[in-house]
Homo-oligomer: A and B are copies of this chain.
Amino acid sequence: MRVVITGGGGFLGRKLAQRILKDNSIAGADGQPRSVEQLVLFDQVAPPAEETADPRVEVVTGDIGDAETVRAVVTPGTDSVFHLASVVSAGAEADFDLGYQVNLDGMRHVLEAARALGTTPKVMFASSIAVYGGALPETVEDDTPVTPETSYGAQKTIGEYLLTDYTRKGYVDGRAMRLPTIVVRPGKPNLAASGFASGIVREPLNGIDFACPVRPESRMAIMSPRTVIDCFMHLHALDAQALGHWRGLLLSGFSVSMAETVDALKAVAGDRALGAISFEIDDQVQAIVDGWPRTSYSARAEALGFPRDRDIADIIRAYIEDELD
């Protein structure tokens, strides 16, 4: 199998790559496990060299917004593309043109390159619960109308429609999943409005004081990195018939409040010294978060056997194991 990961230098792309290399196996077109001969990590910036020493890995740097570049990555013999490359929410809001170039044109380039192969490769797409917006129910479900209120959300939505149409035509076997907010993200804080949900765990564990910008009872739909990767592998292995026509799949998030997160962190931390946690409400962030659903639940994903998180303490323990120990 030749597998391509766009956004292969990013947080999720790197985790996905490590998982595929470790398994040394991924589902073929028939769902049966096949060995992985080549894993292409495509991104603007290469992953750390120590992660790409494996002889199966090929690193390609370039711009997903350039059609020719993408064609040179999704070459004949490619069985599966995991399309994770994107400009994040705040970035697409700040730079409208860049957002459309990467998140819409980039998607079309991937689909066109895959179609040109003539072999109906699998195209896996990281969509987002940012496709929901406006007046939302507490829990978004499979039939919640998709009315994004950010360019990022609009671009992810459009990507799902394109993916489904290319799939209907038999050009690709497209599979998209709408990811909840990922917690705990490692690394430096970023500008995403949801960043605090990871920061409230990560920073205190790093011994750094953290001021949470939303009220303790604020509640959101999250998913752990481990579960996201499990979901990608599960979606990739599913029988196409089971997915049916519509290829944009909501995932069930885990609903957690900031207060519950802090309690779990303290319980899990044991004798680790934690930075102090305070609540300093930023009205703007609070308003954004109040506009988000409290959780997501997909009966379709449940029926298809997707894994989900069920315990914030487990999520924090996994973070410590994967990123700190």
Which residues on A are within 8 Å of B, measured CB to CB?
96, 134, 143, 145-149, 151, 154, 157-158, 161-162, 164-165, 168-169, 245-246
Contact = CB atoms under 8 A, between A and B. Distances in A.
Nearest to A168: B149
A162 B158 contact: yes
Nearest to A92: B165
Query: Which 9 A-B residue pairings sit nearest by Cβ, starting from the closest?
Result: A154-B165, A154-B161, A158-B158, A147-B246, A158-B161, A151-B165, A157-B161, A134-B245, A143-B145
A300 to B, nearest CB: 12
A151 B169 contact: yes
Given A148-B161, A154-B161, A157-B161, A134 B96 contact: no
A161 B145 CA distance: 13
Given A143-B145, A148-B161, A246 B134 contact: yes
7 contacts: A96-B169, A134-B246, A143-B145, A148-B165, A154-B161, A157-B161, A158-B161
A27 B161 CA distance: 34
A164 B292 CA distance: 19
Most buried by B among A148, A151, A161: A161
A245 B164 contact: no
A178 to B, nearest CB: 14
Contacts of A245: 134, 147, 149
Contacts of A246: 134, 147
Given A147-B246, A158-B161, 9 more contacts: A96-B169, A134-B245, A145-B145, A146-B146, A147-B164, A154-B161, A154-B164, A158-B162, A161-B161
A158 B154 CA distance: 9
A162 B245 CA distance: 23
A151 B164 CA distance: 10
Contacts of A134: 245-246
A173 B321 CA distance: 51
A165 B156 CA distance: 12
Contacts of A151: 165, 169
A118 B148 CA distance: 24
